[in-house]
């Protein structure tokens, strides 16, 4: 696994921050911050310097969202120990990367030049920066991965959809290895204004499942993972971080923004069935948990429907309370938390949960991480558009 997040560069920094219950939500850093009502975000630290991370010949091609994806992919591949040039492995390697909005920083800047400055020419690489498949394509080029390569765009479910699609490519025999995850860099003036207009942004911090929650907090970053067929991994002596055991994907086919507990419940049930797990074998759920009035009780209802009496024994937490809502990258950042919980037997907390909502009546691991064995876990992503993607993982 590899990541860049509001905690900095590296999956280890992300996991250590979440395990410690440390919030990375800070005052908004933006040139036009005084013009917007929202005052907080979870942003990658200013210490991130693209010029120090990318060759000057490649950097002009890269929107911030592709920069994040490439950095996370480099870390994941280095950890995996795979060499894509050896034995033709690159021909059997897929790349699937999710993003909610694509090259938003480039889009915003070039629109400003076009409409604000009346520019008659835009940057010649605008299209290759903006296109939502750019992160996947750039990773493919950097690694020499010649297998199926494409982007996934399904709002806040993009990462989990990408990982599920990558797993299915391996199951189908179209690849032995897949590089999969999600990336997002969405904190622009236009995006902030658009999210403000929906009236779902918190003005102070993110409080999932708390009665005084005020909405979501935007975040950014990327998480990328190396998926590998089990026999392929063991044949080369690799030690897996976990087993991606089950996948569940559904659509509410209802409202474009209002969640339906039936859709989320169906996706969780599918993931359990695909993994060959019964509800009682799940110890932890990393919840979608956005901190909005509608999402949190709806997800709680969905968990009750699937798990019945066992729902009361589950540890459920929303790490968005700490790393923010990175839209298409959220599921990937949250998968780092799930892998940490499985490996170390530590469930990260739901931060800022100071006043429990009676409509949210599960064990949300409030404010402090919990030491407990985690045999198997679910990671939930429920998106605008009524799109649900759930991953089931087991300890390796």
Q: What tokens does 130 get?
A: 């903006």
365 sits in the region (left: phi over 0; alpha: psi -120 to 50; else beta) called left
Q: Which of 176, 154, 203, 106 is nearest to 331 (CA)?
A: 154
Helix ranges (H only) for the chain are: 11-19, 50-53, 64-80, 104-111, 126-130, 134-143, 158-171, 189-198, 230-235, 261-275, 295-307, 320-323, 330-344
Q: Within the chain, what is the greatest distance between any pair of CA atoms?
A: 64
Q: Is 186 a catalytic residue?
A: no
Q: Which of 79, 182, 156 is nearest to 386 (CA)?
A: 156
Q: Torsion over CA of 127, 132, 133 and 139, rounded to 10 degrees?
A: 90
Q: What tokens does 73 get?
A: 């992919």
Q: What tokens does 132 get?
A: 């939502």
Catalytic residue among 161, 186, 206, 288: 288
C-alpha–C-alpha distance, residues 208 and 183, integer Å:
22
CA angle 159, 165, 167 (to 5 degrees): 105
Catalytic residue among 161, 186, 323, 325: 325
Strand order in the sheet with 149-152: 8-9, 2-5, 221-228, 177-184, 93-98, 149-152
Contact call for residues 38 and 196 (beta carbons, < 8 A): yes
Count of Cβ atoms closer than 10 Å to residue 43 Cβ: 23
- Any idea which residue has 């850093």 for tokens? 29
Specify the 3-state DSSP secondary structure of 46.
Answer: coil
Q: Is 325 a catalytic residue?
A: yes
- Any idea which residue has 């907090």 for tokens? 217
Catalytic residue among 156, 186, 206, 360: 156
Q: Which of 387, 353, 77 is nearest to 256 (CA)?
A: 387
Specify the 3-state DSSP secondary structure of 219.
Answer: strand
Q: Is 360 a catalytic residue?
A: no
C-alpha–C-alpha distance, residues 168 and 175, integer Å:
9
Q: What tokens does 203 get?
A: 């003005």
Which residues are designated catalytic? 156, 288, 325
């Amino acid at each position: 696994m590899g990541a860049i997040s509001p905690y900095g560069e590296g999956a280890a920094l992300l996991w250590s921050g979440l395990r410690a219950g440390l919030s990375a939500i800070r005052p908004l850093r933006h040139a036009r911050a005084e013009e917007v009502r929202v005052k907080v975000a979870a942003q990658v630290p200013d210490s991130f310097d693209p010029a120090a991370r990318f060759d000057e010949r490649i950097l002009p091609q890269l929107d911030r969202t592709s920069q994040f994806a490439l950095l996370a992919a480099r870390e994941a591949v280095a950890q995996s120990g795979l060499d894509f040039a050896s034995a033709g492995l690159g021909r059997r390697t897929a790349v699937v990367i999710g993003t909610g909005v694509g090259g938003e920083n480039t889009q915003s800047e070039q629109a400003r030049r076009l409409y604000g400055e009346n520019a008659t020419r835009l940057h010649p690489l605008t299209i290759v920066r903006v296109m939502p498949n750019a992160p996947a394509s750039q990773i493919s080029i950097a690694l020499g991965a010649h297998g199926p390569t494409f982007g996934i765009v399904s709002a806040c479910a993009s990462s989990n959809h990408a990982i599920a699609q990558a797993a299915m490519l391996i199951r189908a025999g179209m690849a032995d290895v897949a590089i999969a995850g999600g990336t997002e860099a969405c904190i622009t003036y236009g995006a902030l204004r658009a999210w403000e207009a929906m009236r779902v942004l918190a003005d102070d911090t993110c409080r999932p499942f708390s009665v005084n929650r005020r909405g979501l907090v935007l975040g950014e970053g990327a998480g990328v993972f190396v998926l590998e067929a089990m026999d392929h991994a063991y044949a080369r002596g690799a030690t897996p971080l976990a087993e991606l055991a089950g996948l569940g994907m559904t659509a509410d086919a209802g409202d474009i923004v209002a969640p339906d507990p039936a859709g989320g419940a169906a996706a969780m049930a599918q993931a359990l069935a695909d993994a060959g797990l019964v509800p009682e074998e799940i110890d932890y759920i990393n919840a979608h948990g956005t901190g909005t009035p509608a999402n949190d009780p709806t997800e709680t209802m969905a968990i009750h429907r699937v798990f019945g009496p066992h729902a009361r024994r589950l540890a459920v937490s929303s790490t968005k309370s700490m790393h923010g809502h990175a839209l298409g990258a959220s599921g990937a950042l949250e998968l780092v938390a799930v892998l940490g919980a499985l490996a170390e037997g530590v469930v990260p907390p739901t931060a800022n949960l100071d006043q429990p909502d009676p409509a949210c009546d599960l064990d949300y691991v409030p404010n402090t991480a919990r030491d407990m064995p985690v045999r198997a876990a679910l990671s939930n992503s429920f998106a605008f558009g009524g799109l649900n993607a759930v991953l089931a993982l087991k300890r390796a």
